[in-house]
Chains A and B, each alone.
Chain A
Amino acid sequence: MSSPAVDARGVDKYFGRFKALDGLDLTVETGQVAGFLGPNGSGKSTTIRVLLGLLRADAGAVRLLGGDPWKDAVALHRRLAYVPGDVTLWPNLTGGQAIDLLGRLRGGLDRGRREELLARFELDPTKKARTYSKGNRQKVALVAALASDAELLILDEPTSGLDPLMEAVFTGCVLEAKEQGRTVLLSSHILSEVEKLCDTVTIIRQGKAVESGTLEDMRHLTRSSVRATVTGDPAALASLPGVHNAEIDGDRISMDVDNDHLDTVMRSVTDLGVRSLVSNPPSLEELFMRHYGDELAALNGNRGSAA
């Protein structure tokens, strides 16, 4: 396989005394859609700006499309397109003018695709940017990025201002980009979006990558939720290794099962005579909660004591 599209190792970035990135690792293989997940302020945008050569890493090694993002910025930027999280446009340019300008500065865009994307995103290109809502400004940047022939798309929370219909359009566009063999780095705090689109996920917290891998790999590390109705007494299941939070109600049981114990637990369930069985794979939400759960607990604790 060719070298990864994005390869960051041990990246530190300070703003004054504040450590925004703390030994961050991030790898995106060519041709993949990579999710970059983390709450607000965890360092997602800072990482992306380091990748774009807008900020200089204080330590660590960063390679982007095989080059140095700081030194080779211009050459690398011809091969990528970027949508910032908070798009600000020139108030006196129309959306159409801004799209064309950004395209020309990158080195051209596909006229046909530009028109098609404008129609799909239902964007009026004759309006001045100052009259656009946040969502519409985001659409301008999205159209400009997607109408390019960039091999790498860097999208920073691209759907944060879009309505659900437009989110669906966006999802379609990213899947098409993937089919065309483009690489996508998608930062988000919306789990369902990442789950829907991404091959790999990196979870970032306080400037550090705390978990990364394919969704499959990560699911192996966690638990599936299983609900079953059996002929026999389900009580015995509760004490099996790898079973958590078992709740028994007559002949029904619901439980969380460690994925590496799923096989043995399922054998025991079938031995009891299955009448119905529902098993859900772990959601990214659970993965996420595992890493931010303590923050959430602290938050709830504060709220509890305040109340």
Chain B
Amino acid sequence: MSALTGTGTLTRFILRRDRIRMSVWTVALVGTVAMTIPTLDEAFSTDAQRQARAALMDTPTGILFGGPGYGLDDYTLGAMVVNELTMSLLIATAIMSILHVVRHTRAEEESGRAELLRAGVLGSGAQMTAALVTVALLNLVIGGLSGALMAGYGLDATDSLAYGLGLGLAGLTFGAVTAVCAQLTEHGRAASGTAFLAVGLLFMARVVGDLAERGGGPSSWASPFAWVQQARVFDDLRWWPLALYPLSILALFGTAYALAGRRDLGAGLIPARPGPAAASPLLNGVFSLHLHQQRGSIIAWSVATFLFAISFGTLATEVEGMLDSNPDLMAMLGGAAEDVTAGFLGVMSGYVVMAAAAQGILSVLRARSEESAGRAELVLATAVGRVRWYGAALAVGVLSTSLLVVLGGLGIGIGALSSTDDSSWIGTMLESALSQLPVALAFVAATALAVGAVPRLMSLVWAWLGYSVFTTMLGALLGMPDWALNLSAFGMLPQPPVEPFEAAPAAVASAAILAALVLALAGFRRRDLAVG
């Protein structure tokens, strides 16, 4: 029996088990491409319009979510698609690949299902291989269809092919990064956390490199986020940067297999140690229990958000550098260097709020998994009431989300201070992030309401977050109507420093959040506990 015995069966099983999940990702991502191409074509139909757009892409914010800027000199439809869409697609495929690989490797081991399978006729490497085969399939189908759509729209077929291939390989690379992360700890959650952190760092590496010099600096080349665009598709196509993908994929898979071969099933490379025989006096209630359960995750999110915020903040220097070397840019963006920097940092603090919202959703969902696992039953059978248990869980969600928002604002401020020597940034950026606190908490409240009253609707909260992020990143570009943009949570409230803070909408939002939390508690008190 080889290490790969049973891989085929398992691969078919994963395709069967995840057929809906995989189809949704494919339709969503390919659909975005399908929707974007004609919209861009119509919205920017003249050369003048396209060059105006290209100038915008040459700004710091443009580079952050655009890329190194190939093809901006002659901003044809193909170059436009590549510059406008690549980062959104890569971030989405990274999330997809991380979730997929962890779900079919470490999460299976953690749940004990892997033990059941491995006791059968199944090779030791079969599960990881099946996870990687399916993630490869998923990414290549998405990349392939995207490329085919572009070629079908009349764009150059060779460039379309290269682009589609690059997208697919980039997604697969993120899957390979995850396969390594999944070997390190015993927990699926920690594995995906590590992978998200690794991918986040790779993204930052590209941003730093691309902001440093036109066409990307050395740190860009360290990042798989860069290689698709370094192939200069629809500009001056060169294939060799794409070869970096298979090379790194092979190296990462090799590492993952080597690590997997050195450990027991279910074990991490970092072994578990015995713990205290008695609980500390601090662990004396449901709030401290919830906090104890989420401690690691809250610390990880806080550290990651703070560090990313600081590094976003330090990009202020790059922004000022660009403005110095390109006075026209300042004129185009209309105004003083400070306003441009403020606009850029304001966008950054928007992303901090997105991270806080995602953490808030996950935090409240922990209460749900406590419930489905049967641990809530154990606690609620003691002298702890429903409202106290769920209220404490929601308090942890609200507090941790607020902490992230504060740390994010503070981090951007500190980063900006360190690069501009202007200490007023700390206050400005804190205000900017805090003005959006109700937006992040709205996701906490929505999740709370779903879990408390109508658990069936839980996935709608993710859909809302996904939609809100999507419209923030692409809504204006795609010319989405105002009512559709208004459904997004981000942009609900005016955000300093670009817009002045307004108390009235913030108060209304806070009241609505409070009402939703109360309803959530009432709902949880009335419904049956999910058991068994």
Contact = CB atoms under 8 A, between A and B. Distances in A.
B380 A54 contact: yes
A96 interface: yes
A26 interface: no
Interface stretch (A74-82, A168-176, A194-202, A281-289): A74-82
Most buried by B among A94, A101, A131: A101
Interface string A80-111: 10101011111111101111111011110000
A52 B384 CA distance: 12
A77 B277 contact: no
A90 B375 contact: yes
B276 A127 contact: no
A92 B293 contact: yes
Contacts of A56: 528
Contacts, number: 115
A97 B375 contact: no
A246 interface: no
Interface string A22-56: 00000000000000000000000100010010111
B274 A97 contact: no
Contact of B374 (A77, A78, A88, A98): A88
Nearest to B284: A104
A306 B279 CA distance: 56
A87 B532 CA distance: 11
B278 A93 contact: no
Given A74-B385, A128-B275, A45 B532 contact: yes
A23 to B, nearest CB: 19
Name the interface size band of chain B: 20 to 34
A105 B385 contact: no
B274 A77 contact: no
Contacts of A84: 374, 377-378, 381
B293 A55 contact: no
A94 B380 contact: no
Given A74-B385, A102-B382, A105-B383, A54 B275 contact: no
Interface residues of A, number: 42
A105 B272 CA distance: 27
A96 B293 contact: no
A97 to B, nearest CB: 4
A277 to B, nearest CB: 49
Chain B binding surface SS class = loop
Contacts of A125: 277-278
A39 to B, nearest CB: 16
A101 B279 contact: yes
A154 to B, nearest CB: 8
Nearest to A91: B187
A126 B276 contact: yes
Contacts of B277: 94, 96, 125-126
B492 interface: no
A73 interface: yes
A86 B373 CA distance: 10
A78 B383 contact: yes
Contact of B529 (A55, A100, A127, A130): A55
B330 interface: no
B116 to A, nearest CB: 15
Contact of B528 (A55, A100, A102, A130): A55
B293 A126 contact: no
A80 to B, nearest CB: 8
B383 A86 contact: no
A134 to B, nearest CB: 11
B48 interface: no
A100 B279 contact: yes
B40 interface: no
A82 B381 contact: yes
A253 interface: no
Given A100-B279, A126-B276, A49 B529 contact: yes
Interface in B366-382: 373-375, 377-382
A141 interface: yes
A54 B528 contact: yes
Contact of A49 (B375, B385, B531): B531
Contact of A105 (B285, B374, B386): B285
Contacts of A93: 275, 279, 292
Contacts of B137: none
Contacts of B507: none
Given A93-B292, A105-B383, A128-B272, A88 B373 contact: yes
Give the 7 A-B CB pairs with smallest separation, nearest first. A100-B279, A94-B275, A82-B381, A105-B382, A96-B277, A97-B279, A126-B274
26 contacts: A49-B377, A49-B529, A49-B531, A52-B380, A55-B529, A73-B385, A77-B380, A77-B383, A80-B381, A82-B378, A84-B378, A89-B375, A90-B289, A90-B292, A91-B187, A93-B279, A94-B277, A96-B278, A98-B279, A99-B279, A101-B283, A104-B283, A105-B379, A127-B274, A130-B272, A154-B381
Interface of A: 45, 49, 52, 54-56, 73-75, 77-78, 80, 82, 84, 86-94, 96-102, 104-107, 125-128, 130-131, 141, 154
